[in-house]
């Protein structure tokens, strides 16, 4: 007898996919539904081992399809929604902002309407630290949950808009929600357009690794397994209506990250190729996760242990990344 029904949107993606595996391992009595539109970044091969499980179900659908989403919610009566589904690549948002507004804003609104109509127990909206804008290079400054939102890219603007919608549905309709805002994730099954998997893939193939500008932009890195544990805690113990920042206290410049991977793989730094900087490139992100830590969460991975685990995974799963790259030759 399954106690709860959980809908994970974007479960064919990187973080959502890892979260589904986490749920099935930690909550075998939950019934897990994976909703994904299978866009270019969607990949179901990561779920091949769990497909036969009776408490796992995949649903191919677009979160912007109001009628289909409403029918699904009315049929299944989910208890929890964990909303990962989003367009998330900043470069793509600069080239085509419209799809980001469509998916990240309208899609979130459709899910909120459906959740409100069936009376779910909790809606967890997974957002990003990028909604806060950028920090200067002062190492004593951090984003907190009280930091005003000041997004700078079309991607982060669309995520900030969806955050505001989630808060509005809580305030106006009493929808039980939490919002999480995480720093940069890394780990297994990361789509290879992002910095760490792109670097690993390029270095393994002795290809040039593109680094924007001078490579001094700073990000706080969070292993996806630590992120999954944090969302689990927020889902079950988060205070209704609250926002929780999730960060790893692992700040590194982009150049440091690339050099770490090159060194770990025993290759030459001559593979680094500096390219024209990204438009509106934020200087630094850094999160203060104290509020979540007071709830009982602590990251298990340091950047050193996490990047070692991640590099090892990609080396052992070269076939997966080669399949993804060959399917998206236009991307790289």
Which residues are identified as catalytic? 129-130, 155
The CA-to-CA distance between both ends of the chain, in Å, stands at 46
Return the structure tokens found at 170: 């809580």
Q: Which residues pair with 71 in a beta bridge?
A: none
**CA distance to 97, 281, 287, per residue, from 153 (Å):** 9, 8, 18
Three-state secondary structure string covering the chain? CCCCEEEEECCCCHHHHHHHHHHHHHCCCCEEEEEECCCCCCCCHHHCCCCCCCCEEEEECCCCCHHHHHHHHHHHCCCEEEECCCCCCHHHHHHCHHHHHHHHHHHHHHHHHHHHHHCCCEEEEEEEHHHHCCECCCCCCCECCCCCCCCCCHHHHHHHHHHHHHHHHHHHHCCCEEEEEECEEECCCCCCCCHHHHHHHHHHCCCCEEEECCCCCEEEEEEHHHHHHHHHHHHHHCCCCCEEEECCCCEEEHHHHHHHHHHHCCCCHHHEEEECCCCCCCCECCECCHHHHHHCCCCCCCHHHHHHHHHHHHHHCHHHHHHHHHHCCCCC
């Amino acid at each position: 007898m399954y106690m709860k029904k959980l809908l994970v949107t974007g479960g064919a993606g990187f973080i959502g996919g890892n979260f589904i595996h986490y749920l099935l391992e930690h909550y075998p009595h939950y019934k897990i539904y994976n909703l994904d539109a299978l866009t270019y970044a969607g990949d179901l091969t990561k779920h091949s081992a769990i497909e036969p499980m009776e408490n796992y179900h995949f649903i191919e659908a677009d979160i912007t399809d109001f009628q289909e989403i409403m029918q699904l919610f009315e049929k299944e009566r989910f208890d929890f929604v964990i909303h990962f589904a989003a367009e998330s690549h900043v470069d793509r948002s600069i080239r085509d902002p419209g799809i980001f507004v469509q998916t990240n804003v309208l899609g979130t609104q459709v899910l909120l309407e459906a959740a409100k109509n069936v009376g779910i127990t909790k809606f967890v909206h997974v957002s990003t630290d990028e909604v806060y804008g950028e920090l200067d290079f002062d190492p004593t400054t951090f984003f907190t949950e009280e930091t005003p939102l000041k997004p700078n890219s079309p991607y982060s603007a669309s995520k900030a808009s969806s955050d505001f919608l989630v808060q509005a549905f809580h305030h106006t309709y009493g929808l039980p929600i939490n919002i999480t805002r995480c720093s940069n994730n890394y780990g297994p099954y990361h789509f290879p357009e992002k910095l760490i998997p792109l670097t690993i893939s390029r270095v393994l193939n002795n290809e040039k690794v593109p680094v924007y500008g001078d490579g001094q932009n700073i990000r706080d890195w969070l292993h996806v397994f630590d992120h999954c544990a944090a969302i689990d805690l927020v889902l079950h113990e988060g205070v209704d209506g609250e926002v929780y920042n999730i960060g790893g206290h692992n700040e590194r410049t982009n150049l440091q990250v690339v050099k770490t991977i090159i060194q770990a793989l025993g290759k030459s730094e001559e593979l680094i190729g500096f390219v024209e900087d990204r438009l509106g490139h934020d200087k630094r992100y850094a999160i203060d996760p104290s509020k979540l830590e007071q709830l009982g969460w602590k990251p298990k991975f340091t950047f050193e242990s996490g990047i070692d685990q991640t590099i090892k995974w990609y080396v052992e799963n070269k076939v997966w990344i080669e399949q993804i790259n060959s399917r998206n030759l236009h991307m790289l």
